[in-house]
Amino acid sequence: MAKESVAGLTFEQLWALFQETDRKMQEIAEENRRISQETDRKIHEVTEENRRISQETDRKIHEVTEENRRISQETDRKIQETFDKTNLILDKRFKQTHKEVGALSNRIGEIVEHLMSPKLHRKFKALGYRLENMSRDYEIYDSADRHLVEVDVFLENGDYAVAVEVKSKPSQDDVDDHVKRMELLRGWADRRQDRRKFLGALAGAVIKAEVRDYAFKRGLFVIEQSGETIEVNKPPAPWEPKAW
């Protein structure tokens, strides 16, 4: 039987067309398979790269964390060392200060002891003041029993009272403070109808020239330690002590 033709194509031509179409489809399928495999490979590579990057990131984070911990521990160690050294320095300074304060207290005590000796009576007697009574840490209270003022050394008789303020190294502020103390004494005496004249004196182990001159200017006697005794400094002429 003779082979029929389709749409002007012989059987052989149509068969050849089918075979070509099938070949093309196989080629397309093969290409799709190749592309799929390549895509899977690339996805795998990307996944592996991401895993590598993640692991590297984790490693670096761990390294940074360890470094931060090391730095923190080192910082804590240095802070502790600094703290210990600071405490050691402060302890030494405290002991030195305590020693100096102790020496200062002893120095003031020596001055007061000299002031309390009979020599002080003689010093003021040579200046024309016969002061029979002398007290140390003389405290005065007002009528309501409130503490009014304290005087380091207080000498007195029926006509005069001398209030002595003792400092190791007095300053001009100490002079001003003692003048205020003298004013308080005067007010206290007036309320008691005490008509005696109150005189002020500043005593010190070391007194600068400007402080000495300022004390004279405010009308105070100046008493200074000299070796194993004390001396009432000779004021510039003409000079009169201020009487409160």
Q: pLDDT of the chain along its 244 residues, tens only?
A: 444 555 577 888 888 888 888 888 888 889 889 988 888 898 888 888 888 988 888 899 888 888 988 998 988 888 888 888 887 787 677 666 555 554 555 566 566 655 655 678 888 999 999 998 988 889 999 888 889 999 999 999 999 999 999 998 999 999 999 999 999 999 999 999 999 999 999 998 889 999 999 999 999 999 998 777 788 988 888 899 999 9
Give the DSSP letter string of 183-230. Answer: HHHHHHHHHTT--PEEEEEEEESS--HHHHHHHHHTT-EEEEEETTEE
Overall pTM > 0.75: no
Among left, alpha and beta (phi > 0; psi -120 to 50; other), residue 117 is: beta
Q: Are 205 and 107 in contact (CB under 8 A)?
A: yes
pLDDT at residue 216, rounded to an integer: 97
Structure confidence at residue 154 (pLDDT)? 94
